């Protein structure tokens, strides 16, 4: 299963200004909306394609309709967002599921309130994949044994799902050597054969393929075709102190996720408001699947894999993450 593209323009995701939405409303639901105004909330997000629905929801006024004035705060990753939510600098945040499971296993009082994004479930047509240099003798996941594979963070959702597909292909997942590298650096590292392979996500995936890389496995889609990748979360304290705001945020997120999935052109277009992606790459890349379903089973797959491959020392109670 290989996909190749001729050399074309490259793309680099970059942060721009934060996005916000506000205005008069009669539908305020949180504590700050008692006078008929909007309740201000801050949400920590990452400047990646996965968070397009929340930007679209703000743009379409879904949060304002629920009585919320949302400010989207850009961060480099969940490592910065989780403590900001716990300290109440942000009321809500975005993080991948494995990171949330790790935080929960360490006793942090986090609660997921809405999905972030899902795999498309289509091998070869997902927003995440493992790629190798053109002409590599690595042809499937089993061939990654004994090779170096770049991931953005060690002991997280990337290497966990790569280990899963290696095992499913008959290889020894303990034989893969993972090295940490930022996604933007991976296309050049693969092209220059600095690593044998890289787990990479959009838009960097399309960039790598256009520069001659070859896809060998869609680790998210092949781990589970319904795999939940990330979620929006808050804290137990926030839910106890201001349940109305949490309910309003959840309702607006569910509407945003549904709208994003039903309006793919608008979802792709909103990326221009918070990233810098080359237009050609933006049109060619694969977007995640979005949906409002948040169930314990969505977390259980990654929780079980985390135990199997050593991310967790003991089973994680996924119900602690659910409201």
Domain boundaries, the chain: 19-119+227-275+293-321, 128-223
The model's confidence at residue 88, banded by pLDDT at 50, 70 and 90, is very high
Query: Interior CA angle at 285 toward 284 and 288, to 5°?
Result: 140
CA–CA separation, 101 and 307 (whole Å): 11
Residues with Cβ within 8 Å of residue 87, at least 6 apart in sequence:
none
Average pLDDT on 284-308 reads: 95
pLDDT of residue 298: 86
Nearest to 123 by CA among 104, 101, 140, 136: 140
Backbone angles phi, psi at 146, to 5 degrees: 85, 5
The model's confidence at residue 77, banded by pLDDT at 50, 70 and 90, is confident
CA–CA separation, 28 and 101 (whole Å): 32
pLDDT of residue 158: 96
pLDDT tens sequence across 184-206: 999 999 999 999 999 999 999 99
CA–CA separation, 50 and 75 (whole Å): 14
Residue at token pair 């995640």: 288
**Residue 156 burial (10 A CB sphere; 0-12, 13-18, 19+):** buried
| Domain 19-119+227-275+293-321 matches domain 128-223 at the CATH topology level | yes
pLDDT of residue 226: 96
CA–CA separation, 46 and 52 (whole Å): 10
pLDDT tens sequence across 196-247: 999 999 999 999 999 999 999 999 999 999 999 999 999 999 999 999 999 9
Average pLDDT on 137-146 reads: 98
In eight-state DSSP terms, residue 139 is -
Average pLDDT on 132-157 reads: 96
pLDDT of residue 36: 61
The model's confidence at residue 254, banded by pLDDT at 50, 70 and 90, is very high
CATH architecture, domain defined by 128-223: 3-Layer(aba) Sandwich (3.40)
CA–CA separation, 50 and 47 (whole Å): 8
First to last CA, the chain: 40
Share of the chain above pLDDT 70, in %: 89
Domain 19-119+227-275+293-321 has CATH 3.40.50.1370: no
Whole-model pTM: value is 0.87
pLDDT of residue 13: 33
Say if CB 220 and CB 227 are below 8 A apart: yes
Q: Is the pLDDT of residue 11 over 60?
A: no
Indicate the range of 22-26, 31-35, 256-260, 316-320 predicted with least confidence. 22-26
pLDDT tens sequence across 117-131: 999 999 999 999 999
Say if CB 90 and CB 249 are below 8 A apart: no
Q: Which residues pair with 151 in a beta bridge?
A: 180
Q: What is the mean pLDDT of the chain?
A: 89
pLDDT of residue 189: 98
Q: Is the pLDDT of residue 87 over 60?
A: yes
Average pLDDT on 267-280 reads: 96
- Whether residue 203 is preceded by a cis peptide bond, meaning omega within 30 degrees of 0, is yes
pLDDT of residue 26: 31
CA–CA separation, 280 and 210 (whole Å): 11
């Amino acid at each position: 299963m290989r996909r190749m593209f001729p050399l074309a323009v490259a793309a680099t995701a970059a942060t721009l200004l934060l996005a916000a939405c506000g205005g008069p409303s009669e539908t305020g639901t949180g504590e700050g909306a008692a006078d008929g105004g909007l309740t201000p909330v801050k949400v920590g997000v990452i400047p990646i394609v996965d968070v397009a629905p929340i930007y679209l929801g703000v743009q379409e006024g879904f949060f304002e309709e629920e009585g919320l004035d949302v400010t989207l705060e850009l961060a480099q990753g969940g490592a910065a967002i989780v403590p900001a939510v716990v300290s109440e600098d942000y009321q809500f945040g975005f993080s991948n599921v494995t990171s949330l499971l790790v935080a929960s296993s360490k006793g942090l009082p986090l609660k997921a309130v809405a999905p972030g994004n899902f795999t498309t479930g289509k091998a070869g047509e997902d927003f995440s994949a493992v790629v190798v240099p053109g002409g590599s003798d690595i042809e499937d996941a089993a061939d990654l044994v004994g090779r170096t594979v770049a991931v953005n963070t060690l002991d997280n959702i990337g290497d966990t799902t790569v280990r899963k597909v290696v095992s499913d292909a008959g290889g020894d997942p303990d034989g893969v050597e993972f090295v940490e590298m930022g996604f933007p650096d991976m296309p050049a590292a693969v092209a220059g054969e600095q690593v044998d392979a890289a787990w990479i996500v959009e838009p960097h995936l399309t960039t790598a393929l256009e520069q001659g890389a070859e896809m060998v496995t869609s680790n998210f889609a092949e781990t589970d075709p319904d795999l939940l990748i990330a979620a929006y979360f808050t804290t137990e304290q926030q839910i106890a102190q201001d349940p109305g705001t949490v309910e309003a945020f959840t309702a607006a997120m569910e509407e945003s996720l549904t709208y994003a999935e039903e309006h793919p052109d608008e979802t792709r277009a909103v990326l221009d408001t918070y990233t810098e992606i080359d237009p050609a790459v933006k049109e060619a890349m694969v977007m995640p699947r979005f949906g409002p379903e948040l169930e314990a089973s969505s977390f259980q797959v990654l929780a079980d894999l985390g135990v199997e491959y050593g991310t967790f020392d003991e089973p994680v109670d996924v119900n602690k993450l659910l409201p």
